[in-house]
Amino acid sequence: MLDQKLIRENPKSVEENLSLRGKLYDIPQIHKLTINKKEIDVEISDLQSESKKLSKLIGQEISKSQSNNSEELINLKKKGNEYRNKISKLEERQRILEQEINSQILNLPNFPSKDAPIGKDESHNIEVKTWGDPLKKEDLKSHWEIGESLNLFDSIKSTKISKSRFITLIGNGAKLERALINFMLDMHTKNGYLELIPPALVNSESLTGSGQLPKFSNESFKCSNDDLWLSPTAEVPLTAFHKNEIIDPKRLPIKYVAYSPCFRREAGSYGRDTRGLIRLHQFNKVELYWFCDPSESIEAHKKITSDAENILRQLNLPYRIVDICTGDLGFSSSRTFDLEVWLPSSKCYREISSCSNCLDFQARRSSIRTKIEKKNTYLHTLNGSGLAIGRTMAAILENGQQTDGSVKIPDALVPYFGSNFLKTA
């Protein structure tokens, strides 16, 4: 959430900053509302002050005179009543304005960072680094072909259970999924992250706090009888974990790693990635999350990205890092580095992790602060996948495929998986 005061006092700069995203936002409109509300705030405060003084006076008079319906008292009460009427009328207007302003501000995305490349869409994203040698050969199988031949998962049967875009992992497929989760959690906890397993269902307030609501209600599954949603990413419960808190600066940075299932409706993606493990309504993910001092978030962003990268290196999967341009940035993010893993069958890099610096955007929405020189200050939050499990499995299957149809398991994963190769049973 953007700072209401900033919009009131500096609407031009807000508008300029947001325009980098390549969309129009009606800041003058909101600006007018905030000015209007401010006037009413002052007016109400003045009237309340008067009314409070009067009430005290009445109290004093009553205790002095013993009787409580002298003519003087009746007049004073009448005056008090007038105050009350005036105030409640103003408060009504204040409430409406507040709601209007709030709903508009909650729909404004974060400011893009000055360092993010300027551009309209993903074609303007910048590749900043590549690692490893992308496997380029003809006759390479897709991961879903490999999965089928090695009987690792079944999507057809899963449509009976649920619908399309769900998967059932089978035998070694299930075991590989489990191995990947454990491997990643171990790597990150050794590296200073505290492990959390948060609830998979989250309430509306939590989704609003991290930026999924109100704008993207279409992208999450909602429970019909409760104010609960299936969490689309552990970023949501992790942000909400410290909602409405003032965190001792000595505790910062706080670094969490969380395994969680993630649920996404994938509305509007009909026909894309319909096969395999790339785009599912339910997938597992290990998520990294930082709460840090505002002065340290740029460094933290580099660190969280390299912590995610570390997993890809350990697994020996070729990847690249992409600096997301202003027009392609997610709603809550000011700067994002995507990690993209090489998928030989489609001869391209696919996103496997998105590492974002949200600055104080989520912290303000969720009211998470720290003390800096005795002043309460919104801290900064960062998140990054470390990594998406399904896509990692897809990458291992495709990059590790052998001519005999088996798949080589990356060395670092062998202790977790229990053997060097995936073969037909």
Binder of RNA out of 45, 189, 269, 424 (CB under 7 A): 45
Q: Is 59 in the site for RNA (CB under 7 A)?
A: yes
Confirm or reject binding of residue 51 to RNA (CB under 7 A).
yes
- Interface with RNA includes 140 (CB under 7 A)? no
- Measured in whole angstroms, the distance separating CA 24 from the mean position of its chain's CA atoms is 23
CA distances in angstroms from 233 to 70, 76, 93, 197, 264, listed in the order given = 66, 59, 38, 12, 9
Q: Could you tell me which stretch among 24-32, 73-81, 212-220, 296-304 binds RNA (CB under 7 A)? A: 73-81
Cβ nearer to RNA, comparing 63 with 123: 63
We find the least distance from the C-beta atom of residue 201 to RNA, in angstroms, to be 12
Cβ nearer to RNA, comparing 91 with 148: 91
Which of the residues 99 through 128 are near RNA (CB under 7 A)? none
Indicate which single residue of 274, 376, 402, 424 sits in contact with RNA (rule: CB under 7 A).
Answer: 376
State which of residues 40, 62, 90, 196 lies at the interface with RNA (CB under 7 A). 62
The yes or no reply on residue 162 touching RNA (CB under 7 A) is no
Kindly state the smallest distance separating residue 162's Cβ from RNA, in Å: 21
Residue closer to RNA, measured from CB, 43 or 296: 43
Q: Are the CB atoms for 259 and 382 separated by under 8 Å?
A: no
How many binding residues for RNA (CB under 7 A)?
29
Residue of 29, 60, 159, 217 that binds RNA (CB under 7 A):
60
Q: Which is nearer to RNA, 68 or 274 (CB)?
A: 68
Instruction: Kindly tell me which of 60 and 402 has the beta carbon lying closer to RNA.
Output: 60
* Sole window of 14-22, 57-65, 182-190, 235-243 interacting with RNA (rule: CB under 7 A): 57-65
Is residue 77 close enough to count as binding RNA by CB under 7 A?
Answer: yes
Q: How far apart are CA 393 and CA 344, in angstroms?
A: 13
Among 10, 36, 48, 282, binds RNA (CB under 7 A): 48
Considering only 52-60, 190-198, 270-278, 319-327, which stretch makes contact with RNA by CB under 7 A? 52-60
Interface with RNA by CB under 7 A: which residues?
A: 5, 41-42, 44-46, 48-49, 51-56, 58-60, 62-63, 68, 77, 80-81, 83-84, 88, 95, 369, 376
